[in-house]
Structure 1
């Protein structure tokens, strides 16, 4: 596919080199279109070496080829990072005073702006209005991360990590309608990852969950406008998605406490964590030593059923009656029933609005980049979730969630 990477004149331009590599290594034909200011931060030679294509900033280069029309028309995706306040202002106004902005007017593919600027610039009414205009024109404008900015400043306006930009770009290449800004004002609480049940100061009981699906849900929900809180157990993900508040926990009891405490302030609750069913009755104060007589038996007790507890509390003072609750079921078939049969039974027991059913084992679901399954509705409707990236699955799940959220 043909991908245009537009680069604005901000200090974060150096990070875009990793974004370019992401798309070229995926086999896409990448054309880099920097603004004139961007070349003050990263030279054209770097962009040419990474993309394998010539780089120019001017409409009047290669006039005979009418490059801005040809490149814009053939593009399957345009990613603009960093999208500076000035660049977004020019794009919102329909300016065409360089090759990038001129190409934007001819592009009919998904266009994703990735803002990066100081917090005051991001929050300025002019920028807010320009972002709204770009979204109204059909573009995706990501919400930036919060963190260290230029110098000692910290706040909203940091460029999301290149890996995250690449994942969201891949999503739009696969499913152009995957990031509508339709969850603005919705408060979403998501759990992710596995729990660790301590045996002693060294060892624990755990599972193979990587947290990738829960993190993908948080990432996509935030970029669809939701205010997202992610309660994260043990994961293999490197850091929190952009524009997501994260709370770290270890055990199922801690996860239950944090989810329960935040449930009343949530419009949507998604229990994507792989919660251990059992925990040791007692935790040794010191490391359990290996004895000649072999290991001592470990007595277990049952962990709280967090999903069922949240459903039971719905409609009471703790959780609003209209709160949408989504559960996950990682299942294996057995002699009694198949994966989907076990999922249907779990939906009946739990009473949630939606249940995502995954077949696990044999390299499926846990720890993988891709996933497949079924989405079971409380009314008996069943929707297949075709095999694809976990980011793609997250977008499909959130489509169904958005349809259940009451009008705001």
Structure 2
């Protein structure tokens, strides 16, 4: 019993000692209960001004040659030669010979037609002389009466005149056939395909070459209803800029016509542009380009950096208390660097319209921030 009392006494002493030590630690601990300074997030902003802004309508389109032709044989014959400049990939000039068909048969037909024309001319002269002699004889006998047509051989004269007209036309046809044996370029362009080889027998209607216009290039632009409404109404007075895939300016185009109808498939407006030829133009047929059209002026709008627009379509700004606020942007135009939005009601009463340049996903409406001008 005495041992149990001893152990209990020792345990109480040990517990008292530990409690005293803990209390001494709490009393001697240096606790900094000072209030920490709150650090506000720094937000970069740009100052926007309401003004009348003009944007651009960008449309993706294909450059097309004005003329594309399959050169077909107008006469038949053996293909004797193909000009070196008529090979695939070569550029030919207008009326430049490209190939030659055998033409002996057509030369003979032309000479025969010329002979028939000479014979008709000779017959006509004989009929004319016969008519003149008959008319003189009639007037000598009957000076006061008009002769009947048969008496002075007028029907024969008319037949002779018609025969000569027919002979002249036959000469024209025969000469056309002779000229058709030489295949010439109807316009300046590139030979994209050769369909026949030397020595081949060619029939009427056979395709010999495919030619692509290299002088005049056109672009057809398709616009939806919204784009059409934003287009400058006097669009024919404003040239369109053409950019390649690298966003380099490669040419200027003039709007010639359009807007009179909707495409039956896409139900979109069509504009037809002609590329203006100049030393700086570097556009090729078949190239896909971006066409930049002049828009009408948007009154009382804001021009902002494209980075100010969030993926959700909001633009953040700062109120007079340096608190974050946002509005849903009505974007009229956009490009890689800027957007043009209609003036929102939220900014109407602010003297300084400070728009956040790079909004963050963690922003909250009413959050207090430390604003700083962009670039500082």
Please tell me the TM-score bracket, short chain as reference. under 0.3
Normalised TM-score (structure 2): 0.19
* The structure with more radius of gyration: 2
Structure (1 or 2) with the greater helix fraction: 1
